[in-house]
Amino acid sequence: MASFPLVTTLLILFPFLFSTLVYGYSLSSIKSWCNQTPYPQTCEYYLTNNAYNQTIKSKSDFFKVSLQLAIQRARKGEENTHSLGSKCRNAQEKAAWADCLELYDFTVQKLTQTTHPNCKQTDSQTWLSTALTNLETCKNGFYDLGVTNYVLPLMSNNVTKLLSNTLSLNKVPYQKPSYKDGFPTWVKPGDRKLLQTSSAASKANVVVAKDGSGKYTTVKAATDAAPSGSGRYVIYVKAGVYNEQVEIKAKNVMLVGDGIGKTIITGSKSVGGGSTTFRSATVAVVGDGFIGQDITFRNTAGGANHQAVAFRSGSDLSVFYRCSFEGYQDTLYVHSERQFYRECNIYGTVDFIFGNAAVVLQSCNIIARNPPQKTITVTAQGRTDPNQNTGIIIHNSKVTAASDLNPSSVKSYLGRPWQKYSRTVFIKTSIDGFINPAGWLEWSGNFALDTLYYAEYGNTGAGSSTSNRVSWKGYHVLTSASQATPFTVGNFIAGNSWLPGTGVPFTAGL
């Protein structure tokens, strides 16, 4: 019998030692760390079979490794998505595929941001939440258009489970971000004066006017040409109706009009017309630091065409002031990131405020229109993971019925759980009597009723009584200020840290 060198014999007999030599940590150590995550088997598989040669000595080390694994798999998912292009058989498949290309690109960008040495844990939680939302949106696009048989399995690479693991490791109590002079880095000192006055339009960088009196005649041309710099770039859109579809990718853009009902950007894309929900938006913004003011955003597809978005925001630290969002189903898509709406109007029928951002709507008018399905749901929040720092908060606002709505012929609800961990809170809001006494509607049977978080605090009006509300485990009537305070502007979206620089009024507390 041939003799083997001692090291070779040990490697054959003791794969445990082999793992330790190659990866720098033992399989038992990997198992111990991975058992702290929601998906330990996925964690063990990728940690054991990866070339990372790191010793995990602390939770911080484990988070960094988990994040790198998630980035690696997200890039692989992006590669896989690119390869699907040749397999798309029709326009519907190509439409959903195109969404995924963009969403995977955004995901890799957000995950890369999270690796920055100066990234705070609260920012990390936002961007990890967004990454997970992006992948869910990619999948939903295929479902929107009925493409489910062969494309989706090709896109499965466990990146969502790795992201959930990383989210769970990063979850920390709120820590207030520190910005120089109390303002975010994208606000120049001179911008504060500009944004705190009504002179934004007169001091615009460029003007859009249909009559040719500005530099551009379309909003799209102006936003496509906007530079993505550290300073505020103001685009003034004169009164008029602009029938176009716009996506704003540059950072720090301010879009200001002549007022609600005067400057109108309108479109009619819809799922019924062959678009995905994501791509149906008349106006979409993904560049961070966006401000919209004194504009109407509209989708005229109508209730019969199902999902038809008037505005979609995936812009971090975005603000909307004195704007109107007008549509039917899925009017306002608060897709992801941190957002704030003040003194805005939102019109719709079904799920007309929906998405998975961390968003507060304050001093807004929420107006229910007559739906073809005879059922109204104001909100549909999309949190898929319990560690996402997302939710829809409606504070000091009004929920009313439009003049065309006959309350006796329609059943109306504050919301329904689009996803398993749906989170929506109404605080000190006037709720009219057209809202059903149950308050909230099931999505499908018992789905999410134990895992959602729906709450009401200090609301008024004929529809605000909680005496006959649903008895779900996830529904809560908040009875003290301390219970409601985590959902205020100051806490939920850290508004004191970045909203002062926008010049938009806000109430930080209850």
Q: List, for residues 428-472, the tens digit of each pLDDT value.
A: 999 999 999 999 999 999 999 999 999 999 999 999 999 999 999
pLDDT at site 91: 86
pLDDT at site 86: 75
Q: Does the pLDDT at position 158 exceed 90?
A: no
Q: Does the pLDDT at position 53 exceed 80?
A: no
Q: Which sign does the torsion angle of CA 402, 407, 411, 416 carry?
A: positive
Which of 47-56, 64-73, 93-102, 214-223 shows the lowest mean pLDDT across its residues?
47-56
Q: Does the pLDDT at position 107 exceed 90?
A: yes
Structure tokens at 162: 């790795």
pLDDT in tens, 401-430: 999 999 989 999 999 999 999 999 999 999
Q: Does the pLDDT at position 2 exceed 70?
A: no
Q: Does the pLDDT at position 278 exceed 60?
A: yes
Helical pair 159-170 and 121-144, crossing angle rounded to 10 deg: 150
Confidence of residue 174 (pLDDT cuts 50, 70, 90): very low
Phi/psi of residue 77, nearest 5 degrees: -65, -40
What percentage of the chain reaches a pLDDT higher than 70? Answer: 86
Average pLDDT over the chain reads 88
Q: How is residue 90 annotated by DSSP? A: S
Supply the residues annotated as catalytic: 351
Structure tokens at 418: 């689009």
Q: What is the pTM of this model?
A: 0.90
Question: CB under 8 Å to 393, separation ≥6 — which residues?
Answer: 359, 360, 361, 424, 425, 427, 487, 488, 492
Confidence of residue 176 (pLDDT cuts 50, 70, 90): very low
What is the C-alpha to C-alpha distance for residues 464 and 413, in angstroms, rounded to an integer? 11
What is the C-alpha to C-alpha distance for residues 15 and 257, in angstroms, rounded to an integer? 67
CA distances from 254 to 112, 204, 292 (A): 26, 9, 6
pLDDT at site 18: 44
Phi/psi of residue 29, nearest 5 degrees: -65, -40
Which residue in this structure is represented by tokens 């339009």? 201
Helix ranges restricted to H, 115-158: 121-144, 151-154
Nearest to 223 by CA among 204, 199, 195: 204
Which of 2-11, 169-178, 382-391 shows the lowest mean pLDDT across its residues?
2-11
- Check: CB of residue 195 under 8 Å from CB of residue 151: no
Specify the amino acid at residue 40.
Answer: P
The residue-averaged pLDDT of 305-309 equals: 97
**HEC readout, 189-253:** HHHHHHHCCCCCCCCCCEEECCCCCCCECCHHHHHHCCCCCCCCEEEEECCEEEECCEEECCCCE
Confidence of residue 263 (pLDDT cuts 50, 70, 90): very high
pLDDT at site 149: 62
Helical pair 91-114 and 121-144, crossing angle rounded to 10 deg: 170
Q: What is the CA 381 to chain-centroid distance, rounded?
A: 10
Which of 83-87, 135-139, 255-259, 472-476 shows the lowest mean pLDDT across its residues?
83-87
Q: Compute the chain's Rg from CA coordinates.
A: 24
Nearest to 135 by CA among 116, 165, 161: 161
The residue-averaged pLDDT of 387-412 equals: 96
pLDDT at site 13: 44
The residue-averaged pLDDT of 341-362 equals: 98
What is the C-alpha to C-alpha distance for residues 460 and 507, in angstroms, rounded to an integer? 19
Read out DSSP for 293-349? ES-EEEE-S-GGG-B--SEEE--TTEEEES-EEE-SBT-EEE-SSEEEEES-EEEES
Confidence of residue 218 (pLDDT cuts 50, 70, 90): very high
Q: How is residue 479 annotated by DSSP? A: -
pLDDT at site 473: 98
* Residue 309: exposure state from Cβ atoms within 10 A (0-12, 13-18, ≥19): buried
pLDDT at site 228: 83
Nearest to 431 by CA among 482, 469, 404: 469
Question: CB under 8 Å to 25, separation ≥6 — which residues?
Answer: 54, 55, 56
Which residue in this structure is represented by tokens 């991975």? 34
More confident residue, 290 or 15: 290
The residue-averaged pLDDT of 80-86 equals: 82
pLDDT at site 5: 53
